[in-house]
Structure 1
Amino acid sequence: LAGAEPVYLAPDIDAVLHVPTHVPLDTIKEALAAYPGAKGLVLTNPTYYGHCADLTEIISEAHHYEIPVLVDEAHGAHFVLGEPFPVSALKMGADIVVQSAHKTLPAMTMGSYLHLNSSCRIDRDRVAEYLTRLQSSSPSYPIMASLDIARAYVEHIIEEQKLSDILQRIQSLKQTFDSLTNAEAVKPADPRIITDPLKLTIRSKRGHSGYTLQNILERVNIFTELADENQVLLVLPLGGKRIINAETIKSIDEAIEKTPPDQMFVSAEWGAQPVTVLPYQKKVLQTFKKEYVDFDEAAGRLNAEDIIPYPPGIPMIMAGERITKESV
């Protein structure tokens, strides 16, 4: 919409989970040195899987160039509760942070917070002006009310000192899954990555893909947030109770054992360049004719539309990017 020229920064791929975790500091430094006139740095932290990186140095480096940092903290609205939850990008010094309260707090779908955390790099009046152009002139008051309820909910947890009880229930739930014989919890290989306690990634020990494991869990009424080629992701409740008894665990183990293993599509690092730009500007791309081709024959062609499987919503190939054999 702004006509800006995107510069894409490749994230690290975790060696155990085979999913993107964060954009490393060295890549940020390389990009800032190459494009010192950039208008903004946009990062996602945490990822859908709850993986968080320390952005303090990255934000400081961007601010050295007087470049504002915008963080998509969609899955981190509850980080305000403090330890053991990761630190919010707001405390790390990000200029603008967006949190989707409906993901981990009791807000209605589409309810989100936009936090402005800077007065020198961000003009609040300009942000407000652009929002009025992009958003509806008839806002949903039920959604806005639910956002205030979510805020009050978190405040109540802090004031009533209920966090320790919530953490005990979460830990108890994780221990229940730890008792599985044929599946296990998996964590990132990088020790610098902090995982949100509300996120739990489970993988079969018997060679099942995440999609098959998801089907097995659904048979015993455990509905996961998402499945990928290798594992499933569960989002644990900040409040309320979910009881999984020994009989359920036994049923899961038996179902895994009886289900023939399918091929696990272990994604390797695809060797993407750390910093890339599109081969053509948008105004040029818009003049090109689009056509459908078999994906196996797409290498070397320009991609016409974003390819973003959701969940988890991690872009594979962006519109305008050159498709490579590796990306296919």
Structure 2
Amino acid sequence: MSLQSRFICWWLRRRFLPVTRRPLDVARTRAATEKRVWLPQVPAGWQLREQYEGGDIPLRGEWLVREGGAPRTILYLHGGGYYFCSPRTHRAITYGLATRADADVFSLDYRLAPEHPFPAALDDALAAYRRLLADGVRADSLVIAGDSAGGGLALATLLALRDAGDKLPAGALLYSPWTDLAVTGASIRDNDGRDPMFSGDVFARVAALYLGEAGATRATDPYVSPFYADFQRLPPLFMLAGSTETLLDDTRRVAERARASGVNVECEIARGLPHIWPIYAPFMPEARRSLDDSARFVQRVTTIDTTARAQKTAPSGAASSPPPAQSSETSISP
């Protein structure tokens, strides 16, 4: 581990881990996260297009777009336990992926629990993916990505798209994905005390926010917890997790089951690195290397798309709101 990684783990153990042992305070967590977030500068030759007004649904969030448009697209779903964080908090990842993979990145501002429990986030992810394709993005030039809860959401989105007969993206990037909201992985207990970021018992409390009134009876639904799904016919997966994470088994067990179903899976279990370490780019060398590896995966699985698209060529001052969503066919009923 680099000195930077050791320092970040020390800081997380002192400042973040103790909070996960306390009762959940949604408002306080959201406010503290937005207050301390570090925002990278927009890379030269790229444009940030923020779309947070009501008319931007289903593409509510933000684009990082290469001037003239990149030949690939990434749909990014941020982590945060389904109840906090935003596209802003994850710009270190989305900016790093965009510039390395030469891909325009759309980071979705999906609805959060507990105000909007399952299936709101999944409905939003499905609607955004389908709008991207309707706007001209080719499925074989697109990768869906996410971290932590967003990684589980990305995998659930793949499953729902497959089950509905939609065209699937070229692949998926999953960073420390939370894939089992029933919290049955052995690492929840075995790595409690070793994980510098999370206590083992926090996940059951966070899961209750997302599950809402359905409660534990819905925890093993594959669209909630993709670990319980049939993985056949999914596109290639690129997965990362740290060896001391309490969520380690949420990655390791999915990788094993997906491979057994014939899915092409690249999975790295990195010794001692913290939860979703790519978010510490550009400070952490391991984060930079993981984003490099992720970009190579994106370039390897996608087909270059040279088609001009309106959302990529619009000048920075142009209106960015797409037409109203056609949501009647996107809902996953609770």
Query: Which has the greater radius of gyration?
Result: 1
TM-score between the two structures when normalised by the length of structure 1: 0.28
Structure having the higher helix fraction is 2
Greater RCO (CA < 8 Å, at least 6 residues apart): 2
TM-score between the two structures when normalised by the length of structure 2: 0.28
